[in-house]
Structure 1
Amino acid sequence: MPIGPTQVALGALVLVAIGFTWRYGGRDRWRALVADRFVYGVPWGTLLTVGIVVAFYLFAQGGLRHWSEPLTYPFITWSYLYPLGWLTAGIAHGSPEHLVANMTGTLAFAPIAEYAWGHDPTRRTATDANGDDTGLLGRPWFRAVVAFPAALLAAAYLTAFFSLGPGLGFSGAVFAIAGFALVTYPLATIVAVLASSGLQLLYDALTQPVVREAVERGPPAPPEWAGIGFQAHLLGFLVGVLLGIALLRRRSRRPTPARLVLATALFGLVQSLWLLVLPAAEDVFTLYRGAGVVLVFSLAIGTTVAVTGSDRPLPRVVPIERATRRRLAGAWLAVLVLAVLVGTVGLLVGDQPVLFGLGVVLLVATLLALPALPSVVPDRMLSSPLSRRQTAIACLGVLTLLVAVPSIPFGLTVVDDAVPGTGEVEVEGYAVTYEQNVTVGQDSVVDVDTNESETRRDGVVLVNADREISTVSVRSDLLEYAGEGSVDVGGFGWRETVDVERTGWEVVGNETAYAVDLEIDDETTRSFASDPVRAHATVDEQTFHVVPDEETFLLRVTEDGADVGETAIPSANETATVGDLQVSTEELDGVERVVVETDETEVQIATQERYAAETAAEELDEIEEP
């Protein structure tokens, strides 16, 4: 990336702003504050974690040589039967923007979480000095460079393991860090939200100080929010909140309720914790925005009660005797058991995925049964009645299970060795081919309808049975838009790129006849050729078909259903003959067109396929010309 005067000026001003803040912002007070919690006042765990994730992107994913096109397929959570995927998915990223967004979030939130935990447990204040750690966890350097990074990476592995389908990225861990920071230091976390946005903007300004784009529809793609791993975000947030509650209880400290409920609500709204998305049909997604906002405010209230709520027992709705309460609680539990049985029968009768549906039913029933448990559990099993705060914590725990457990069947998937279609290119266990209306996806080893095994797609299909990969790498509509694409395959220490190119002719009065070629190591394989397409034009009762061949395109001439002859479509400004017809390819304004001529007639048969991406690039070039 060339460095221009804008980047130099921006960098200088940022350094001046940092120096000004350090000089006039009470540096001695801040130095004393961080030195009390960090070794030499530096959040080593945060920096080391960011370094590990960035290093993985640069070296394992090849970002050092291919910054904008990292290797991703071997590092995605395709299946539990492919351990490398879920072990690396939490720290791998799909693009520089993806990496920078997660790292700016980590740099904003993780120092707060690291500060809350602290490097040296012997230097805590008197209000939170209870339960000092001993052994290795009592050593500041071990806490800074081993324990804290290990906790962050464990959060990444956890959210990757319980990913609802193939996942990639550190964002689940970022939300876990944010949840932990939020319950320990609410206001500082809200400030960190602003800092994260500022860091992201600063990176964009440094890397792209000037952006110029033409007005265009852009390539076909699902809504931006449909590709966000909302389930991993919510799971990470809940895990972080529960860990933060455990730390606060150990330290005997509670934040102000008003600050916590407001900060949690603001965080959830700004950071899109309300994002609830489900696929409705093929290429159709449903965003439950209203329900998501309700969830955010419910989380804010529930989290606040779980952190700062009273330890008094739950209030009685009606002042009744314990024996009566026990009977009512037993009746309520009996109703729940009956509901579970009815739900199970409904799953069996309706030919629904039993294991998946039964898991959801049991978890919901457990959540509804919590208020009745204190009345039916013997007194000797409870040291004290269930308090308001304990109830809220139990609800958060059950909600965490509700978010995590349904993802398990999506990880218990396999693929077979069969490669759909023909014309594939094989690279070290990977098979790449182009097909239309082909079944892709994994088959679940349990009775759960993941909608993957019956999904039929068009496009470049990537299959690797050893890695449990079966997916559409380049969609057909995207290839039709751009005319080309690429598939990067590989593993640790190696990488190969399969280039994909679509060529075609738009036949007059009909569809496009096209072919898709795959190229690797200067060897080209024609992976797909469409059916012949007939032109509506005729000459002397002769009809014409554009036919994609194994290597080129043919023009076939027929009369009364019988073949007259065929020839390869000539190159630009060249001619060929079929019977008494002359076939030529003319170029006009950069577009080639196939023309059939006789002594008296000239008819256009087809024009070279033009791609919207090329047109948009040409328009942008014209705008940039002085």
Structure 2
Amino acid sequence: MSSLPTPSLPAWFPLVRVALFVVVVGSLLSVRRLSSGSGRWSDVLRRRFVLGVPWGTLLTAGIVLAFYLLVQNGLQRPADPLVVPFIAWSYFYPFGVLTSPFAHASLGHVTGNLLGTLTLAPIAEYAISHYPTRRGSQSFSSLRTNPFVRVFAIPVGSLVGGLLTGVFSFGPVIGFSGVVFAFAGFALVRYPLVTLLALVGRRVVGLVYQSLRNPEIVASGRTEFVTPWFANIAIHGHYYGFLLGAIAGLLVVRARTHRPSSGRLWFGFVGFAVFQALWALYLPLGGDRYRLYRAVGVGVVFGLATLLTVAALSSRRPLVRRIDLKRHEAAVGLVVVVLLAMSVVAVPVNLIAVADQSNASQGVEIRDYHVFYGEEIPNGYVAGVDVPLYNESQEFNASGVIVTSERRSLWYPAVRKGQLARTGNRTVRIGGADWERTVEVNRTGWQVLGNGTAYKIFFRTDTEPKRLVYTSDRVRADPRVDGRNISIRPTNGSYELVVTNGNTTLETAPIPEPNNETTVAGLRFNRSGTKLTVFSDDTRIQIASRETH
């Protein structure tokens, strides 16, 4: 008697993802069912939101997502959008200043800021409310009390906040995070503990999202080119957005009767600042080195938490009777002064231009862009105003693929030398609001025993074939064979073996093809795959190996 066939799912069916989705949704539904006040949440939301939905938050998130998908070509390449033209490089490039708050550098970047918006903005929108909350006021009695107008408070506030963070952040910057921090600053003033819980919720949602996107990964040890984690934080923009939102929140809370306790407010500010690394104050030192001012940053966090708590809860009693200055006015005014000081400092920092690049190395010209490879190239920016400490931190040399554009006041290392050495191939995307081009960068090389690598850099564009743009100096191997030195030298055609005795070149010859050999100045060189071995009598040394990536 034959057995029945065992049912099986098709290979394309995402079983793990579906199972995870069912478990998460089932868990949420179970908790909701067990909650005695499950209907209360719906009532609370409907009292503040039209149909119980934070429409302003959804509209704002939709605008940011649409910019990424449509303007930055994220729809065609979700993981590799067009970034360069949307960065706030300088005040001399206003297009970048205006677009940078709404553009993002990667899929992970936009995902993180969208999650932050969807978790923090609803709290701010709830505090503002679609319906008037003042006693005696009625909806639709004026434009200010019209719920359909108040829905746009978050989108309009996001636009204004984004433009301010774009103008007054230390450039170059990109991303919506300044506005996300503004949402947090606003929400903390009114609902400090709820805001902290929202941060935890954001981590949970992010974990579930990543688990659905990549249910299983295989990790292994590898060599990577990394910068310190804090060096990727636009700390000035985060602080600026946070204070901007906190000031707006203070104005709303001071006009209402209900306020959180001092302990909750202080703990909310400190907890958020620590959780979001607002203590990570740093300066670049050049050469991929950075100085982190940890103690100063922690002191700033506690001092700012105290100032904001006092500003939110201080009484209306006079502080200076002669000028009728009240305590709460002085506290809020001090926060405003801090924000204005940050704005003033940002102006000279962003008044930078690109120096004359006529002597730059050979590369490719694409419209107003010049892309080239160079090593130990001085920073191409020229400060319009001398800013002590900051300008000194910008005095550095860079090595790698460098992109410049005088029209856009743009100069930056798009691919570091170490990154290219590790990967071998990188793609540089440049363009404008309505056009885009790519430059494919390729590195080949020979690792020479004991003394580094001889290598060549090639560029290929959408319209030009692959061509050589940079060759390193020749590299000499440490071992001497029969009293002779062996070097590898990159050339326009290939790589050459150079055999010398002191300062005298005895003979040169191209490195043989794989599984072939050649004789140079009496030394026999054999190439087997990626390995190059030299023979002389009973001596045998692997002198070099081809770079592999």
Same fold? TM cut 0.5: yes
**Alpha-carbon spacing, 1:418–1:281, altered in 2? closer, same or farther (3 Å):** closer
1:512 is the counterpart of 2:519: no
Structure with greater helix share of residues:
1
**Alpha-carbon spacing, 1:39–1:191, altered in 2? closer, same or farther (3 Å):** same
**Alpha-carbon spacing, 1:281–1:456, altered in 2? closer, same or farther (3 Å):** closer
- Write out per-residue CA displacement over residues 397-436 of structure 1, whole angstroms, 9 at most, x where no aligned residue: 1121233321211211111451554230222322211111
Q: Would the aligned equivalents of 2:169 and 2:240 in 1 still touch at CA under 8 Å?
A: no
User: Alpha-carbon deviation of 1:273?
Assistant: 2.1
User: Alpha-carbon deviation of 1:134?
Assistant: 7.2
1:594 is the counterpart of 2:532: yes
Q: Would the aligned equivalents of 1:424 and 1:434 in 2 still touch at CA under 8 Å?
A: yes
Q: How many residues align?
A: 534
- Write out per-residue CA displacement over residues 550-601 of structure 1, whole angstroms, 9 at most, x where no aligned residue: 23211234456444443221221123455665543222xxxx2234456x46
2:140 and 2:173 map into 1 onto residues whose CA distance is: 35
- Secondary structure at 1:523's aligned position in 2? coil
Of 513, 523, 543, the residue aligned with 1:606 is 543
- Write out per-residue CA displacement over residues 435-483 of structure 1, whole angstroms, 9 at most, x where no aligned residue: 1111124212223352476321111111111211101111112222223
What percent of counterpart residues are identical? Answer: 37
Of 536, 556, 571, the residue aligned with 2:498 is 556
Q: After the TM superposition, which of the residue ranges 602-611 and 272-281 deviates more from structure 2?
A: 602-611
1:609 and 1:421 map into 2 onto residues whose CA distance is: 29
Which residue matches 2:7? none
1:570 is the counterpart of 2:507: no
1:30 and 1:454 map into 2 onto residues whose CA distance is: 56
1:9 is the counterpart of 2:19: yes
Q: Would the aligned equivalents of 1:425 and 1:525 in 2 still touch at CA under 8 Å?
A: no
**Alpha-carbon spacing, 1:281–1:156, altered in 2? closer, same or farther (3 Å):** same
Q: After the TM superposition, which of the residue ranges 299-308 and 166-175 deviates more from structure 2?
A: 299-308
Q: Would the aligned equivalents of 1:498 and 1:519 in 2 still touch at CA under 8 Å?
A: yes
Please give the residue correspondences for 1:419-568 in structure 2 after superposition, counting only pairs within 5 Å: 421-448=360-387, 450-451=391-392, 454-521=395-462, 523-537=465-479, 542-558=484-500, 561-568=503-510
Q: Would the aligned equivalents of 2:286 and 2:395 in 1 still touch at CA under 8 Å?
A: no
**Alpha-carbon spacing, 1:580–1:12, altered in 2? closer, same or farther (3 Å):** same
Letter matched to residue 143 of structure 1? R
Letter matched to residue 79 of structure 1? S
2:502 and 2:331 map into 1 onto residues whose CA distance is: 80
1:392 is the counterpart of 2:331: yes
Unaligned residue ranges in structure 2 (runs of 5+):
1-11
Q: After the TM superposition, which of the residue ranges 14-23 and 241-250 deviates more from structure 2?
A: 14-23
Which residue matches 1:176? 182
- Secondary structure at 1:213's aligned position in 2? coil
2:314 and 2:361 map into 1 onto residues whose CA distance is: 63
2:140 and 2:253 map into 1 onto residues whose CA distance is: 14
Q: Would the aligned equivalents of 1:234 and 1:403 in 2 still touch at CA under 8 Å?
A: no
The two structures, once aligned, show a CA RMSD in angstroms of 2.6
Q: Would the aligned equivalents of 1:70 and 1:94 in 2 still touch at CA under 8 Å?
A: yes
Of 300, 306, 317, the residue aligned with 2:305 is 300
User: Alpha-carbon deviation of 1:536?
Assistant: 4.4
Which residue matches 2:167? 161
User: Alpha-carbon deviation of 1:209?
Assistant: 1.9
Q: Would the aligned equivalents of 1:91 and 1:156 in 2 still touch at CA under 8 Å?
A: yes
Letter matched to residue 39 of structure 2? D
Which residue matches 1:249? 254
User: Alpha-carbon deviation of 1:73?
Assistant: 1.1
**Alpha-carbon spacing, 1:306–1:535, altered in 2? closer, same or farther (3 Å):** closer
- Secondary structure at 1:436's aligned position in 2? strand
- Secondary structure at 1:279's aligned position in 2? strand
- Write out per-residue CA displacement over residues 97-143 of structure 1, whole angstroms, 9 at most, x where no aligned residue: 2212211111111011111111232xx252xx679997544332232
Of 102, 106, 110, the residue aligned with 2:117 is 106
Which residue matches 2:29? 19
Q: After TM superposition, what 4+ stretches of structure 1 lie above 6 angstroms from structure 2?
A: 130-134
- Write out per-residue CA displacement over residues 24-81 of structure 1, whole angstroms, 9 at most, x where no aligned residue: 5434322222112211111111001111111111222222222222221111110011
- Write out per-residue CA displacement over residues 345-376 of structure 1, whole angstroms, 9 at most, x where no aligned residue: xxxxxxxxxxxxxxxxxxxxxxxxxxxxx48x
Which residue matches 1:75? 86
1:192 is the counterpart of 2:198: yes
1:138 is the counterpart of 2:149: no
Please give the residue correspondences for 1:35-434 in structure 2 after superposition, counting only pairs within 5 Å: 35-121=46-132, 124=133, 126=135, 136-144=143-151, 146-216=152-222, 218-280=223-285, 282-314=287-319, 374=320, 379=322, 382=323, 384=324, 386-418=325-357, 421-434=360-373
Q: After the TM superposition, which of the residue ranges 2-11 and 76-85 deviates more from structure 2?
A: 2-11
**Alpha-carbon spacing, 1:584–1:197, altered in 2? closer, same or farther (3 Å):** same
State the TM-score, normalized to the length of structure 1: 0.79
2:31 and 2:134 map into 1 onto residues whose CA distance is: 27
Q: After the TM superposition, which of the residue ranges 228-237 and 447-456 deviates more from structure 2?
A: 447-456
- Write out per-residue CA displacement over residues 209-245 of structure 1, whole angstroms, 9 at most, x where no aligned residue: 22321134x4132210121111111111111111011
